[in-house]
Amino acid sequence: MAEPWSDSLRRPLPDGIVPEEVVVRTEGRWVMIMTAMLAVMMAVIVVTGITGALQPASNVEVIDPQTLHLAGEFVESNLGTAIEPDGSATVRLIAEQYDFVPPCVVVPAQTPVKFRLTSADVVHGFLLPDTNINTMVVPGFVAEVNTSFAKPGDYEMPCHEFCGLGHHAMWTRVSVVPSDQFAAQGPLERTRCAKQ
């Protein structure tokens, strides 16, 4: 003869035991909550990626690190800040053990700024705190990041990729000045921060 409690859903439960249908319903709700949390986190990544102008680390542009100083875009006379015909600024920097060249750059505020960097030796990092700029600088590749600075100010720029014994001392400075003040500066002041 069948026991009356052979169907577990109908079996009378001792005190403190949660019925199976309650467990199933509760687990179903938690699965929905977890799915919603995952969806929110994915949405945050996508929305901040688009609105915060985060960009992939590399535009996969190759360059020969052994001839940087001889010819092409990264010769010494071409480093620092240049103003393009459309009014935007392009800053070119070389990272090498254990300096950035030039050691300081001046850029205009409220202007689109494109940083182009490459390394002469090992992997370095380029990070501007409180901006969207955070990239590795890999020898053989040109790292490119776009930003603009709303307000004048000085940004300390540490190399944030361990690159050897002098890594901790590898810094550069980006000095953001009002655009009219920038226009009044000569090329040397723009690249070497001579007035500091």
Q: Out of 128, 170, 176, 193, which residue is the one contacting ligand CUA (CB under 6 A)?
A: 170
Cα distance between residue 119 and residue 138, in whole Å: 6
* Region of 44-52, 53-61, 147-155, 161-169 interacting with ligand CUA (CB under 6 A): 161-169
- CB-based contact 166:89 (threshold 8 Å): no
Distances (CA, A) of 145 to 7, 43, 57, 108, 141: 65, 23, 8, 16, 13
**Identity of the amino acid at 152:** P
Binding-residue pattern over the window 83 to 112 for ligand CUA, x denoting contact by CB under 6 A? ------------x-----------------
Q: Out of 94, 161, 190, 193, which residue is the one contacting ligand CUA (CB under 6 A)?
A: 161
Q: Out of 68, 91, 145, 163, which residue is the one contacting ligand CUA (CB under 6 A)?
A: 163
Decide: is 167 part of the binding site for ligand CUA (CB under 6 A). Answer: yes
Q: What angle do CA 80, 50, 57 make, to 5 degrees?
A: 45
For ligand CUA, the binding residues (CB under 6 A) are 95, 124, 159, 161-163, 167, 170
